[in-house]
């Protein structure tokens, strides 16, 4: 476990895949987000899936993706009277699916198609806005996975699909 923000540089472009327990990765991401959740009084619920779930990954990159989605969710939930973020871990065939949803106002329909593009954000202009989802999509793609914004009524919801197994390879 590391004590700093899991930036994409942490894995280096040539980082190798390692077999990791998903619960440990989830715990690391939650630990990074804990101060924000506490400060903003955001209820966090986690459905961690089977405790033995493992995947081949670059651990720092998966933690970075989860942390970005959880922080985005928390920041969106800050505007809601009922503040919550939810992480659900499931399996679908050969993938692990990470579902992050929040009680925020949602992604406006006019930017949904571009939400993963650089500098597109639902937040007011400010430092560091509009790259988190772009980086998350790149990191997920490096794992042979996908990240999608779930379209439809209800809370904002992102799904991340990561293959459980990878051929052991470098970048």
Domain boundaries, the chain: 16-163
pLDDT bracket for residue 126 (50, 70, 90): low
Contacts of 136 (CB under 8 A, 6+ apart): 64, 65, 68, 69, 116, 147, 160
Instruction: Give residue-wise pLDDT tens across range 142-161.
Output: 999 999 999 776 789 999 99
d(CA 41, CA 72): 15
In which band, very low, low, confident or very high, does the pLDDT at 115 lie, cut at 50, 70 and 90?
A: confident
pLDDT digits (tens, 9 = 90+) for 44-57: 999 988 878 999 99
Asked whether the beta carbons of 55 and 162 are under 8 A apart, the reply is: yes
Q: Which CATH number fits domain 16-163: 2.60.120.260, 2.60.40.10, 3.40.50.2300, 3.30.565.10?
A: 3.30.565.10
């Amino acid at each position: 476990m590391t004590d700093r923000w899991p930036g994409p540089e942490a894995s280096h472009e040539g980082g190798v895949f390692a077999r990791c327990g998903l619960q440990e990765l989830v715990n690391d991401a939650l630990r990074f987000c804990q101060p924000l959740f506490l400060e903003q009084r955001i209820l966090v619920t986690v459905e961690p899936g089977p405790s033995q779930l493992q995947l081949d990954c670059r651990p720092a990159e998966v933690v970075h993706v989860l942390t970005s989605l959880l922080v985005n969710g928390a920041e969106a939930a800050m505007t809601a009277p009922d503040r919550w973020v939810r992480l659900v871990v499931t399996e679908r065939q050969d993938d692990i699916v990470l579902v992050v949803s929040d009680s925020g106002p949602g992604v406006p329909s006019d930017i949904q198609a571009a939400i993963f593009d650089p500098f597109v954000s639902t937040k007011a202009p400010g430092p560091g806005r509009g790259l988190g989802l772009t980086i998350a999509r790149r990191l997920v793609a490096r794992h042979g996975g996908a990240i999608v914004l779930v379209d439809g009524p209800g809370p904002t919801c992102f799904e991340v699909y990561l293959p459980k197994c990878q051929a052991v390879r470098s970048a």
